[in-house]
Amino acid sequence: MLIYLYGPDSYRLQEKLRSIMEEYKKKHSGLTIEYFDFATGDEVWEKFKEFIGSQSLFGGSRLAITSNCANEKEKAEFLKNFSDHKTASLIIIAEKPLGKDFSFLLKKPVLSQGFELLNGAQTVSFIKKEAEKRKLKLLPETINALIQANGSDLWGIIREIEKIVLGGEVGQTVTVPDFFAMISKLSGRAPFSLKISALTWLLETDDAAKVFNMVSAFTKVTADKVKMADYDVAIKSGKLEYEEALLDLVISS
């Protein structure tokens, strides 16, 4: 079997790798696992091929885990035929998708999964799920503070959650968001990830109508004022809810 895990979100990628390894250990007694980091030297590639081609005296299964594979045609050709291997399995890890010679990794029978960085709303969902696993109920202010302090660094977010589990407090670098600062992000020219994060916090901590009216008041650009007026008409005519209008504002900005 050939498995391809790639993307910059190393936390979720490593969690997926861990779960795959646990399944392999359950299914295969006497499993031999070896790690091969190709960035450490050319001799690692030779050791990898030797491991793949060797036969265990006891007939046990083998699992190779590789990282930092270079975009070389020789390696691509070798790996292309790997899916037919009977006694060994391979997991390829890459921070960035490998080049065109490795495009076969995105096709069957290879099992592939990408791990892109989460956006604001996805990060909120991730934090809530991780908190539930640990039987925690985090306030919206705490969730947004974690995002403000750590951005898309899930390792940092998990460290802070574990502190709370152990009875500690969220790190000193984490600050509770300010209502007017969040409104300014929605009404200004902030990046999408910050806007969606601000909207999530505002809707979880305050009334949607109040948020909409404050955003309208803070809007300075004429085109944006016209857009907010159109939203207001749509809301009052029953075509939109306040939450829908605010979400459309963030998506279309």
Condensed to tens digits (0 to 9), the pLDDT of residues 103-131 reads 999 998 899 999 998 888 888 999 999 99
pLDDT for res 170: 57
Buried residues in 11-24 as b, exposed as e (16+ CB within 10 A): bbbeebbeebeeeb
- Find out whether 246 and 199 touch, Cβ atoms under 8 Å: yes
Lowest mean pLDDT among 65-79, 158-172, 224-238: 158-172
Residue 176 is predicted with a pLDDT of: 54
Band the pLDDT of 57: cuts 50, 70, 90.
very low
Strand ranges across the sheet with 62-67: 32-37, 62-67, 88-94, 2-6, 111-114
Which residue segments constitute the domains of the chain, with CATH numbers given? 2-114 (3.40.50.300), 120-165 (no CATH), 179-252 (no CATH)
Q: What does the pLDDT look like over 200-251, one tens digit per residue?
A: 878 877 889 999 998 888 887 788 888 899 999 999 999 899 999 998 888 8
Mean pLDDT confidence for 82-88? 74
Cα of 191 vs its chain's centroid, Å: 18
Helix, strand, coil share of the chain (percent; to 5):
60, 10, 30
N-to-C CA span, the chain:
44
pLDDT per residue as tens digits for the range 15-50: 999 999 999 888 887 788 899 998 888 889 899 988
Is this model's pTM higher than 0.85 or not? no
Q: How confident is the model at residue 56, as a pLDDT? A: 53
Q: What percent of the chain has pLDDT over 70?
A: 92
The per-residue pLDDT for 201 is 78
Of residues 3, 31, 29, the one with CA closest to residue 17: 3
